[in-house]
Chain A
Amino acid sequence: MAAVSTGAVVDATGKETREINREIRALIARGEKTIRVANPGARHNLAVGLDSDVSITFEGPAGYFLGGMMDGPRLHVQGNCGWSVGEDMLSGEIVIDGYAGNSAAAAIRGGTVVIRGDAGARSGVSMKGGLLIVGGSVGYMTGFMMQKGTMIVCGDAGPAIGDSMYNGHIFVAGSVDQPGNDAVVGEPTDEDNAMIAEALSRYNIPHPGGFKKLSSGGRLWNFSKKEIGVWIEAL
């Protein structure tokens, strides 16, 4: 089990996803803790289902489902990623240097996803835990049906942010023009602010100042004819 000091390399040029993933897993089985993937070319399904203690750097963009369903690894994409980065993640960390497609961090239950650029529609949809940080803005219906966890958005929020949230919190520094159904806009506590400052500095994201806090109004928790307005309306 020789550890390579510069990290092991997978050259993805001309290879299918299945082969690339096999090589990655073989390196992990060999005991590599640091892996580089050169020329990923925005392929889909890279590094899905990994549950080892390993750091992988992708020297280029990734496609859909990067790091999907993972439990433990640290992934870094030096570029953009497609839809659903880190979906269903249990633990670990994913950092995307560029932008992310739709549904970033969909249904994650733990771990951290960081998008330095913008994130698309339905970011953090159905989140069940964990932390999503977006350095840029987020798209339509971000945080839809969020259940637990924390989202920090340094840019602006697209329409319907936090729609139908059960729980969890979304912090937005930019504009919140159209909060979603049952999303209530309030002020962060001192603890919230300290958490945000720590999280942003951990990833060297400049603190934009002045966050708003979105939480669930709880009016969609139980069927109630008195809250009919909230049930009927949708953006």
Chain B
Amino acid sequence: MARITLDHLAHSYKSDPQGPQDYALKEIDHVWDQGGAYALLGPSGCGKTTLLNIISGLVRPTRGRILFDDRDVTDLPTEARNIAQVFQFPVVYDTMTVRENLAFPLKNRRAPRERVAARVEEIAGLLDLTRVLDRKASNLTADLKQKISLGRGLVRPDVAAILFDEPLTVIDPHLKWQLRSTLKELHRNLDITMIYVTHDQTEALTFADKVVVMHDGAVVQTGTPDELFARPAHTFVGHFIGSPGMNVMPCRVEGATAFVDEQAIALDRSYRTTGSGQRIELGIRPEFVQLQPAGAGLPVSVRRIDDLGRARIARVEMAGRMLSASVPEAVSIDGDRAALVFDPRHIHIYADGHLVTGEPHSSGSAAVAASTGGRPS
């Protein structure tokens, strides 16, 4: 059982890294609390697997330290850490039965035979593998094999954390959901830290209590699924999470008013923008943009309306830019001319991709807003 601390961790696959562009993993400071269910979410090639392999000890970081509780394990080999890992492609030992597979990690650590047998039975029960215990592991389906690799991790009583590297990639869709709920249930019953790497936002958001979003070798936001949805710290998070993703448009901000293509949009916070040259953008999720009949707000032309079942989403064009908006039940649009109404409480302002926190109106302080021209995208 351990709290895992990443202390100024960075990794480069080059032997002589020069600048930040040489780092597969840029400097990261993070604490994984004991017993948490984490997801590490990001597109392929963003450094998630590198980070995972550093935690499990398969890769030694170029810089920084890893602490399990207060013990520095940076130089400890994998087998000396209390970590289990489940890989993208199920790894089972072909020549062994399921029982022997599950017993393998304990046998290697020279545990007494009766203890091994009892523990294997227990874990097999947890994972619903009891009925296949005496079958050859090589003859089983991918989801059972993946359960076996998970079981080989769980079987070790000292395991502090289990790392999952896109474990559902090769699982049939209808079994994915089942296996994910098995994982969730296991996490509730056992006090084990789980770190789940995926590029699938649904998997991440349904599995994890806390999601760590990575982009281009760096962590861009850590938060609960709700936080990621409500306050994306980076435009990337806005795009990546949510379906459809957040609308992002270049703008100019003056105090509590944003100008998109010279259309004023009221904000409920005021911003002081530091210096020019930054890329200022306005982000708002489609859920908080309402399509209304023409004249009620920003003029747009409607390209398409998709009925997603639970909601209707309109694809609209505003000055050459495609945006998504939700269509309220009562509204019906004639022709392609319509208007957008933004909910000011859910408008976020980004400078160079990063969220800028404004000051509430009520503070009354006159915001000195340097006018910055939005760079056209």
Chain A bound to chain B: no
- B residues sitting closer than 8 Å to A (CB atoms) are none
